[in-house]
Structure 1
Amino acid sequence: MSSGDVDGIVLSLPIADRMRAMLFYREVFGFEALGEPAEDGVPEPLQFEIGRRTRLMLIPSGGFGWVLGEGREVAPTKSHEVLLSLTVGAPRAVDDVIGRARRAGGEIVAEPQRQPWGYTGVCADPDGHLWQVIVAAAATS
């Protein structure tokens, strides 16, 4: 398969509360949910376009297990196999995103700081999913 055969990528994460997750992603990253709101005021499915061919879908934990198939368990809370990275253009943007995450109730895992690979900070959303916000070293020189 070549990259030309791929229509897009959807990253799916399990969540506990649809409204809380939607508000966090809107307030912290500026992502707007796609689709018409359901009865709870949140589009179903809850997803955001985060790039030209990339979407983020947030699925309630019970539904996430259903999608995985019978007999499959969702990883326990605070157990992560993925670090999602959001690349921004300047160190100030890293500080801004991490600040918004703090104000929106996210956990700050690593305060913004200069590292050999760039200026970066790490936050967790309300469900514990880790997001690294980074500007590459070459852009900070």
Structure 2
Amino acid sequence: MKINQIYVNLPVKDVAKTRTFWTKLGFAVNEQFSNENAVSIVLNEQSIFVMFLKEEFFKTFTNRPLAKGDTTQVLLAIGTDSREDLDYIIQTAVENGGSKYSEPQDNGWMYQSAFADPDGHQWEVMFADMSQFPQQ
């Protein structure tokens, strides 16, 4: 079996604010799956999508309570094509209502940093140069 797409679903308080935040980061919106209750952000065309669902709408898909406050349910990790792309995403996220929750880490072959979006979802951003991966 092979999985060919992933749809991450996350609750948000304000769909319009979320749309603005992610489009300022440079990501496209799939309008077919977007409305006043949801915005579909395309992280990787044809394969990776994030469905940001208004909290009330999100709750219609589960009978479990939403994680609130200082809890962490999931860490989301995304990879970039360059260190510059990573730095741009972090800087733009912070300038547009997100927050940085860790300082950049440079491991030589891998460079990473992290931000929280306006709803507190944590995003780990990394760039890896596998040609520099340490040989054992």
Q: Flag whether TM exceeds 0.5 (same fold).
A: yes
Query: Identity of counterpart residues, as a percentage?
Result: 25
**Counterpart code for 1:59:** L
Are 1:33 and 2:26 matched, yes or no?
Answer: no
SS class of match (2:24) = helix
The Cα offsets for residues 41-84 of structure 1, whole Å up to 9 and x where unpaired, read as x5653112222222110011111111113xx2111134222111
In the alignment, the residues of structure 1 paired with residue 37 and residue 30 of structure 2 have an alpha-carbon distance, to the nearest angstrom, of 9
Counterpart position of 2:38: 45
Q: Single out whichever of 81-90 and 123-132 deviates more from structure 2.
A: 81-90
1:62-121 deviations in Å (ceiling 9; x for gaps): 11111113xx21111342221111211222221111110111110100122313761111
User: Take 1:97 and 1:59, find their aligned partners in 2: how far apart are those partners?
Assistant: 22
Q: Which residue of structure 2 aligns with residue 14 of structure 1? A: 11
1:1-52 deviation line (CA, Å, top 9, x unaligned): x11xx45321000001111111111112x112111698xxx56531122222
Q: Unpaired runs of 5+ in structure 2?
A: none
Cα shift at 1:123: 0.0
Equivalent-residue separation in structure 2 for 1:22 and 1:61 (angstroms): 15
RMSD, aligned CA? 2.4
Given residue 54 of structure 2, which amino acid in structure 1 is its aligned partner?
P
Q: SS of the residue aligned with 2:77?
A: strand
Give the deviation of 1:140 after TM superposition. Answer: 6.4
Number of equivalenced pairs: 132
CA distance change for structure 1 residues 134 and 140 in 2, over 3 Å: closer, same or farther?
Answer: farther
Structure 1 unaligned blocks of 5 or more: none
- CA distance, structure 1, for counterparts of residue 65 and residue 10 of structure 2: 13
> Structure 1 residue aligned with 2:98, among 106, 120, 123?
106
C-alpha deviation, 1:139, in angstroms: 5.8
Residues in 2 aligned to 1:107 and 1:140: alpha-carbon distance in whole angstroms: 30
Dislocated runs of 4+, deviation >6 Å = none
Q: Is the 8 A contact 2:15 2:38 kept in 1?
A: no
